[in-house]
Amino acid sequence: MARRIVWTSKADIIFTEILEFYCNRNKSKTYSRKLNREVNTIVQLLPKYPFIGIKTEIDSIRVLIKGNYKVFYENKPSEIIILLVWDTRQDPTKIPLE
C-alpha cells in the first residue's frame, strides 16, 4: 500500500507564513512559488524513500534539508506526516515540534 502525505495544520500554517513573508518582502510571488515547488518536490519523494531524512533526537522524526529549510516528518506505516517546515535562519530554540 502506498503511503500518503499528510500535512499537520501547524506545518501548513508555518509554511504558508514563510511563503507570505517572502511575497511581502520581495513584492513578488516568484521566490515563494519557487520555494513551494522545491519543498513539495522533496516531500513527494518520501512515500517511495521514507528513510532519506536524517534521524533527529526524537526516534520517530526525521528531517530533510533543502537549502535554508528543514522539513520535519514522521514515517508511519500508511502515511508520512509533515510536522514542520522550518527556516533555519530563525532561532533554533523556537522550533515548535512539541
Which residues constitute the domain of residue 30?
4-89
**Could you give the number of structural domains in the chain?**
1
Whether the pLDDT of residue 73 is over 80: the answer is: yes
The enclosing H or E element of 81 equals strand 79-87
With respect to residue 59, please indicate whether it lies within any of the assigned structural domains: yes
Neighbours of 40 (CB within 10 A): 12
Q: Residue 84 belongs to a domain with what CATH number? A: 3.30.2310.20
pLDDT digits (tens, 9 = 90+) for 37-47: 999 999 999 99
With respect to residue 26, please indicate whether it lies within any of the assigned structural domains: yes
pTM exceeds 0.85? yes
Vertex 80: Cα angle to 74 and 85 (nearest 5): 65
Cβ atoms 78, 3 nearer than 8 A: yes
Strands 61-66 and 4-7: unpaired
Residue 98: the pLDDT is 56
What ranges in the chain are assigned the alpha helix state H?
Answer: 9-26, 30-43
With respect to residue 25, please indicate whether it lies within any of the assigned structural domains: yes
